[in-house]
């Protein structure tokens, strides 16, 4: 299993663009062989928790990536089962719980992800804190998680040495509501709430707001747009950035896949929430 571990770790370093990692993505054939080795090992030792997690890790690169929040038989459900079984076999193992939490979050199953990591460090693990930030900001009824949306990229950016959980610090949802309707939704929570309007490179309409904790720890919206310049190049910040913007085939690159709820729409609204935590 050591050779497989090295191959998977190499792929993970390349994915995170860590210094000294492979410039190009590793050979999928080598990863497929690695998966077969782990599967053969588990035939003989089905209760090997480390091997179950390793199978889940290599499976992310070999199987086609699920593009919906649903658990797909070819990808999500398989990895979910392996990760859950590993946690059952060794419930105190932090790495196993981290892997399960990230897997569930990547599938848009956010409540389950929070539950998976909650027992670690009394709820103070960085993933728990990130998930708590998201839980503090509601989304409109009917909004559908879009794990492969633009928020995760916005959170990571082009950082060649991104923190370990950086991709977990941004989440996207899709909705058929208008920007004004989403703004009205948040105004019911915060009376002074407003989106500061922006326009994308392709003419997309959008808006941004910065929710910062007050002295009592409760999030409050910014009263002006000065935060945009302040946070433009910030690697971390206190609070949560909330943004909305038009998305869909009219604006996005060809081949982009969307949640089923908006799959037939040319334009829809993406809600993005990015926590200021660094992710490590």
pLDDT of 23 > 90? The answer is: no
Beta bridge partners of 275: 240
- 148 contacts 67 by C-beta, under 8 angstroms: yes
| SS3 assignment, position 190 | coil
**Best CA proximity match to 278, nearest among 169, 120, 132:** 169
Dihedral pair phi/psi, residue 10, rounded to 5°: -65, -45
pLDDT of 245 > 90? The answer is: yes
| SS3 assignment, position 105 | helix
Q: Which residue ranges make up each domain of the chain?
A: 2-121, 144-275
Q: Quick one: pLDDT band at residue 174, thresholds 50, 70, 90?
A: very high
Strands 196-199 and 240-247: unpaired
pTM greater than 0.75: yes
Q: Quick one: pLDDT band at residue 9, thresholds 50, 70, 90?
A: confident
Query: For the chain, what is the largest distance between any 2 Cα atoms, rounded to a whole number of angstroms?
Result: 62
- 272 contacts 149 by C-beta, under 8 angstroms: yes
So what's the pLDDT on residue 1? 81
Does the domain at 2-121 match CATH 3.40.50.970? Answer given as no
Q: What angle do helix axes 110-117 and 126-135 make, rounded to 10 degrees? A: 140
């Amino acid at each position: 299993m050591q050779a497989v571990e090295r191959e998977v770790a190499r792929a993970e370093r390349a994915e995170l663009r860590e210094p000294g990692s492979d410039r190009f993505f590793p050979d999928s054939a080598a990863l497929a062989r690695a998966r077969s080795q782990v599967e053969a090992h588990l035939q003989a030792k089905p209760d090997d928790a480390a091997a179950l997690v390793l199978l889940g890790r290599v499976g992310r690169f070999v199987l086609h990536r699920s593009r919906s929040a649903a658990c797909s038989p070819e990808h999500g459900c398989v990895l979910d089962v392996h990760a859950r079984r590993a946690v059952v076999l060794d419930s105190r193992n932090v790495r196993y719980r981290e892997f399960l939490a990230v897997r569930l979050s990547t599938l848009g199953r956010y409540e389950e992800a929070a539950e998976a990591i909650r027992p670690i460090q009394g709820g103070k693990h960085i993933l728990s804190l990130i998930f708590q930030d998201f839980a503090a900001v509601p989304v409109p009824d009917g909004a559908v998680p879009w794990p492969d949306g633009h928020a995760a990229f916005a959170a990571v950016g082009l950082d060649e040495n991104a923190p370990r959980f950086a991709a977990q610090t941004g989440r996207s949802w899709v909705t058929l509501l208008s920007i004004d309707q989403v703004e009205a939704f948040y105004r019911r929570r915060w009376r002074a709430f407003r989106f500061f309007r922006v326009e994308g490179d392709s003419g997309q309409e959008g808006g941004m707001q910065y929710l910062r904790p007050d002295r009592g720890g409760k999030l409050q919206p910014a009263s002006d747009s000065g935060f945009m310049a302040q946070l433009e190049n910030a690697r971390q910040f206190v609070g949560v950035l909330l943004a909305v913007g038009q998305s869909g085939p009219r604006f996005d690159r060809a081949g982009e896949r969307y949640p089923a709820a908006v799959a037939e729409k040319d334009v829809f609204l993406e809600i993005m929430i990015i926590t200021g935590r660094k992710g490590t």
